[in-house]
Amino acid sequence: MLSYILKRIGQSALVLIIVGLVAFSMFRFVGDPIDNMLGQERTMEDVERLRAQLGLDQPFPVQYFKFLSNAAQGNFGVSFRQGRPVADIIAERAPATLELAAVSAILAVGVGIALGVFTAIRRDGFMANFIMSASLIGVSLPTFLIGILLIYVFSVELGWLPSFGRGETVKIGWWTTGLLTESGLKALILPAITLGLYQMTLIMRLVRSEMLEVLRQDYIRFARARGVSERTINFRHALKNTMVPVITIIGLQLGAIIAFAIITETVFQWPGLGLLFINAIQFVDIPVMAAYLMMISLVFVLINLAVDILYAFIDPRLRVSA
Amino acid sequence: MFKFTTVLLLTTALAAPVMAKDFKFAATTDPQTMDPHAVNSAPVLGFLNNVYEGLVRRGKDMAIEPALATAWEPIGEGEGWRFTLRQDVTFHDGAEFNADDVVFSYKRASDESSDTRSWFAPVSDVVKVDDYTVDIMTNAPNPIFPDSIANWMMMDSGWAEANNAGLPDKEAGNYATLNTNGTGAFKVTAREPGLRTVLEPHGGWWGEVEHNITRAELTPIQNPATSLAALLSGDVDFINPVPIQDVARLKQNRDVSVIQGIEARVIMLGFDQQEGASEGGNGSSDLFLDPKVREAVAKAVNVPAILQTIMRGNAEVASQLVSPAMRGFSAANATPYAYDPEGAKALLEEAGVAGASFDLKCPNNRYLNDEAVCQAITGMLAQAGLSATLDAMPVQNYWPELRADNFDMYLLGWSPGTFDAEHPIRFLGSTPNEEKKLGSWNFGGYSNARIDELLPMIQSEIDDIKRQAMLDEAAKIMQDEVAYVPLYVQPLVWGARSNIELTQRPDNFFILRWVTVN
């Protein structure tokens, strides 16, 4: 088991280094930050001076190596746009994204599994059919459209919920939370639904089809024949066996929720990492882009690692063979 | 007890409308720093104009008016300018403003680490005469010097030194990047970069208060649909800009008002006018060396049609490189090129280049609807018999392309920082000269000996009438030679809740002290 985990960690580190390399080779296509940093009245001399100062005149492998060696020492550089350490900026923005992602994930997993089980057990019922049809909306509509629709209905027309931002936040140490104020909770509702809707419908459909599959298995029939109660069959035997593929998907989707919060954050002006990244692209703020991409790939790598380890706990056969 | 509560409720009810004048505004770009000398960009200077002040400032009509200086006059035969400073002005932290702060702010803003140093290129020295008099010496007579320093903001020398912010630090930032201490009508009470910036009135401000704001909060909102929704739902009181395509719809709504005007920015077409220099263009690289071909382009582009369709009637046709609102606008040359497709064809025949093909480079996120405008231009040129290939790209890729001379024709917007017609001549009309820092945005390499000769004369002419005559001459030369094809003056569209009264200035600066919340 230990050697298995160590091997996975080694692979993860390699993935990170490759992601960084790809990212850095792409940066020069994103554009040139110099004109954004200097004003209209700059001279060519200023342009050259600043480029040399930022090390942008060097070939990208050199730039990448510098970034890596600094990052290994915990120094992610200084944002071109804000003139502040990138690590500070990311620490400032991370709570917003993590809170949004956590609430969306809880929403997606909780509601998704419950509805999935419900539609599997009552698969011919009217409600189940209605939920299945409605879930098509969640799968097929793009996130930004859902977000704008929600804003239009609940903010502009009804005026119930704020149209953008995070509301009032409370500081706990370096962490800022919007979960403790009324306006913060209100502001969280629409973005959380927007971000979680796709994952929710995905999980629901997955749980349903897996569950239907499992319910057809022989051991379920035997259990029925033995007179085990429906409740025990459904939730103890069937659901548990449904969960293995579902957990893989949940794990991957959790990473996706954090990484692809970009669109939701842009639509709702949610002050998190996704918005920071979008702004960084527009300004060609290379240190911020690099740190963000490395961080997201780290999140994915860690989640995958966790999922692999979780398998072993859910499926005893893996434990034995490992 | 009951009585007490009622009384309390009544007083709060009565007091509330008078007290809380919370004003929330949104802008596309967050000011990237709070340091008035670090960068020279409109979002920063526009915002900081509410917090810091210069010796002079611009009024509602863009004219220069006294701010921290009460009077100014030329010294001798134009050796410089003498500024008399306002007395009893205090910074937000209570420190007094005097001549030392002016000298300090000059050193700070003209230092190599400052992006605003080009403003001080004509300045040889700043001398403190007494506590409330300062002489600013210039290398040559400089009639528009007071006009050119409206955004040069005063910082307290003691505060800057105490906080180790004696010089701006753009790369790593310092205390002044996040904190402010100006003399302006508002002070920054909270600053979270990219999230929100909170302003409150400065109690000790020297001026007469016109606004009734007790607290203002700036939130950057990048997505235009989101900011529009925020305005419609009342979550913000003001947005800038309103997307052009939503203007008509917004005007139907009684809860909001649309404030329209024209900006200082003129959108124009530029040409590659260097012999054999165009490596990246496709084919006929010397095509635009011939003024006839440039004139044909000017005649082939139907600007009013572009404004009618793409700008939905929200912009004005331009005749020269500055808008009529700028000082030094040449009224003698105010006729734009007329749309004349037949004339264009004839000119192309004459030049023997009918059917020529070339590249049109265009940004797609810099100016309002820039790519759509270029697309329309491509179609219009095709009708006249010029085959332009449109290459549109984000602005962060666009400038490097232009600097590398990878274009035949390109789209450019220019907003004169000094609000004077001399500015575009210096940056766009002069022959590029790295040493003299001239023509630094003249990517196409337009060159005319008379323009180069006129520029220093314009810069040092004290007499307004003689100066205007020279500006007229320069405008005429550039118009006759079709150095650029000016297209239109970019529109300015702001949106506000209908209970807000405000003043729109053509430089797109949002001045909080002119806002009334009803």
Q: Which of A49-58, B345-354, B455-464 has the lowest mean pLDDT?
A: A49-58
Question: Cβ of A30 under 8 Å from any chain B Cβ?
Answer: yes
pLDDT averaged over every residue in chain B:
89
The whole-number pLDDT of residue B4 equals: 44
What the block records as the tokens of B191 is: 């600053």
| Minimum distance, in Å, between the CA of residue A6 and any CA atom of chain B | 38
- Chain B positions touching A42 (Cβ under 8 A) are 115, 118, 440
SS (H, E, C) B39-105: CCCHHHHHHHCCCCCECEEECCCCCEEECCEEEEEEECCCCEEEEEECCCCECCCCCECCHHHHHHH
Report how far residue B270's alpha carbon sits from residue A85's, in angstroms, rounded to the nearest whole number. 39
Nearest CB to A41 within list B118, B173, B398 = B118
Question: Cβ of B190 under 8 Å from any chain A Cβ?
Answer: no
Helix (H) or strand (E) holding B331: none
Q: Which of A35-39, A134-138, A139-143, B8-12 has the lowest mean pLDDT?
A: B8-12
Alpha helices in B333-490 (DSSP H): 341-351, 370-384, 395-403, 422-424, 449-460, 464-480
ipTM: 0.79
Question: Cβ of A41 under 8 Å from any chain B Cβ?
Answer: yes
Q: List, for residues B6-18, the tens digit of each pLDDT value.
A: 444 444 444 444 4
For an interface test with A, which of B440, B442, B508 has the most A Cβ atoms less than 10 Å from its Cβ? B440
Report how far residue B298's alpha carbon sits from residue B34's, in angstroms, rounded to the nearest whole number. 42
Quick check: A41 and B417 CB within 8 A? yes
| Minimum distance, in Å, between the CA of residue B140 and any CA atom of chain A | 20
Q: Which residues contact B396 (CB under 8 A, 6 or more apart)?
A: A30, A31, A32, A33, A35, A36, A282, A283, A284
* Measured distance between the N- and C-terminal CA atoms of chain A, rounded to whole angstroms: 6
Yes or no: say if A88 and B192 are a contact pair by the CB < 8 Å rule.
Answer: no
From residue A129, alpha-carbon distances to A202, A215, B224, B355 in Å are: 16, 18, 38, 63
The whole-number pLDDT of residue A312 equals: 66
Using DSSP's 3-state secondary structure scheme, residue B438 falls into strand
For an interface test with B, which of A48, A51, A152, A164 has the most B Cβ atoms less than 10 Å from its Cβ? A164
The whole-number pLDDT of residue A316 equals: 65
Report how far residue A268's alpha carbon sits from residue A163's, in angstroms, rounded to the nearest whole number. 7
What the block records as the tokens of B1 is: 């007890």
What the block records as the tokens of A75 is: 């120094």
At A80, the pLDDT band (50, 70, 90 cuts) reads confident
Q: What is the CA radius of gyration of chain A?
A: 24
Yes or no: say if A238 and A214 are a contact pair by the CB < 8 Å rule.
Answer: yes
The whole-number pLDDT of residue B1 equals: 40
Average pLDDT over residues B343-369: 90
- Chain B positions touching A164 (Cβ under 8 A) are 219, 221, 226-227, 229-230, 235
The whole-number pLDDT of residue A318 equals: 60
At B2, the pLDDT band (50, 70, 90 cuts) reads very low
Q: List, for residues A193-207, the tens digit of each pLDDT value.
A: 999 888 889 889 898
Average pLDDT over residues B112-130: 89
CA dihedral A291→A297→A301→A307, nearest 10 degrees, is 120
Quick check: A32 and B400 CB within 8 A? yes
- Chain B positions touching A89 (Cβ under 8 A) are 193
B400, closest residue in chain A (CA to CA) = A32
From residue B207, alpha-carbon distances to B50, B51, B68, B93, B115 in Å are: 13, 13, 10, 17, 29
The whole-number pLDDT of residue B13 equals: 42
Helix (H) or strand (E) holding B182: none
Quick check: A152 and B229 CB within 8 A? yes
Quick check: A42 and B235 CB within 8 A? no
Average pLDDT over residues B377-389: 92
Yes or no: say if B272 and B405 are a contact pair by the CB < 8 Å rule.
Answer: yes
What the block records as the tokens of B185 is: 């009508």
Question: Cβ of A316 under 8 Å from any chain B Cβ?
Answer: no
Yes or no: say if B504 and B242 are a contact pair by the CB < 8 Å rule.
Answer: no
The whole-number pLDDT of residue B20 equals: 67
Q: List, for residues B133-168, the tens digit of each pLDDT value.
A: 999 999 988 888 898 899 999 999 999 999 999 999
For an interface test with A, which of B222, B235, B423 has the most A Cβ atoms less than 10 Å from its Cβ? B235
Q: What is the largest CA-CA distance in chain A?
A: 86
Q: List, for residues B410-442, the tens digit of each pLDDT value.
A: 999 998 888 899 999 999 999 998 888 888 899
| Minimum distance, in Å, between the CA of residue A121 and any CA atom of chain B | 41
Report how far residue B305's alpha carbon sits from residue B313's, in angstroms, rounded to the nearest whole number. 9
Average pLDDT over residues B358-384: 92
Quick check: A78 and B400 CB within 8 A? no
Return left, alpha or beta for B335; rule: phi > 0 is left, psi -120 to 50 is alpha, else beta: beta
Is 90 exceeded by the pLDDT of residue A50?
A: no
Burial (CB < 10 A; 0-12, 13-18, 19+), residue B95, is: middle
Question: Cβ of B179 under 8 Å from any chain A Cβ?
Answer: no
The whole-number pLDDT of residue B8 equals: 43
- Chain B positions touching A176 (Cβ under 8 A) are none
Quick check: A36 and B193 CB within 8 A? no
Is 80 exceeded by the pLDDT of residue B403?
A: yes
Nearest CB to B399 within list A32, A269, A271 = A32
Nearest CB to B195 within list A83, A271, A282 = A271
Q: What angle do CA B51, B57, B63 make, to 5 degrees?
A: 145
Question: Cβ of B290 under 8 Å from any chain A Cβ?
Answer: no
At B281, the pLDDT band (50, 70, 90 cuts) reads very low
Q: List, for residues A225-238, the tens digit of each pLDDT value.
A: 888 888 888 877 78
Q: What is the CA radius of gyration of chain B?
A: 25
For residue B360, give the DSSP letter. E
B37, closest residue in chain A (CA to CA) = A39
Q: What angle do CA A212, A216, A219 make, to 5 degrees?
A: 125
Using DSSP's 3-state secondary structure scheme, residue B388 falls into strand
Question: Cβ of B229 under 8 Å from any chain A Cβ?
Answer: yes
Question: Cβ of A209 under 8 Å from any chain B Cβ?
Answer: no
Determine how many CB atoms are found less than 10 A away from the CB of residue B344.
25
The whole-number pLDDT of residue B302 equals: 95
Average pLDDT over residues B396-407: 87
Determine how many CB atoms are found less than 10 A away from the CB of residue B70.
13
Report how far residue B68's alpha carbon sits from residue B74's, in angstroms, rounded to the nearest whole number. 17
Quick check: B229 and A156 CB within 8 A? yes
Report how far residue A97's alpha carbon sits from residue A24's, in angstroms, rounded to the nearest whole number. 24
At which residue do the structure tokens 């040129």 appear?
Answer: B381
Quick check: B226 and A163 CB within 8 A? yes
The sign of the torsion formed by the CA atoms of B156, B157, B158, B159 equals positive
* C-alpha closest to that of B318 among B373, B359, B380, B240: B373
Average pLDDT over residues B208-221: 93
The whole-number pLDDT of residue B345 equals: 92
- Chain A positions touching B365 (Cβ under 8 A) are 282
Report how far residue B288's alpha carbon sits from residue B276's, in angstroms, rounded to the nearest whole number. 11
Quick check: B232 and A164 CB within 8 A? no
The whole-number pLDDT of residue B278 equals: 47
Report how far residue B402's alpha carbon sits from residue B432's, in angstroms, rounded to the nearest whole number. 14
Quick check: A83 and B173 CB within 8 A? yes
Quick check: A83 and B219 CB within 8 A? no
Q: List, for residues B472-503, the tens digit of each pLDDT value.
A: 999 999 999 999 999 999 988 999 999 999 99
The sign of the torsion formed by the CA atoms of B400, B401, B403, B409 equals negative
Using DSSP's 3-state secondary structure scheme, residue A21 falls into helix
Q: Crossing angle of helices A143-150/A182-215, nearest 10°?
A: 130
Amino acid (1-letter code) at residue B426? R
Quick check: A78 and B230 CB within 8 A? no
SS (H, E, C) B269-298: EEECCCCCCCCCCCCCCCHHHCHHHHHHHH
The whole-number pLDDT of residue B80 equals: 92
- Chain A positions touching B172 (Cβ under 8 A) are 78, 83
Q: Which residues contact A144 (CB under 8 A, 6 or more apart)?
A: A263, A266, A267
Yes or no: say if B41 and B32 are a contact pair by the CB < 8 Å rule.
Answer: yes
The whole-number pLDDT of residue A295 equals: 86
| Minimum distance, in Å, between the CA of residue B92 and any CA atom of chain A | 24
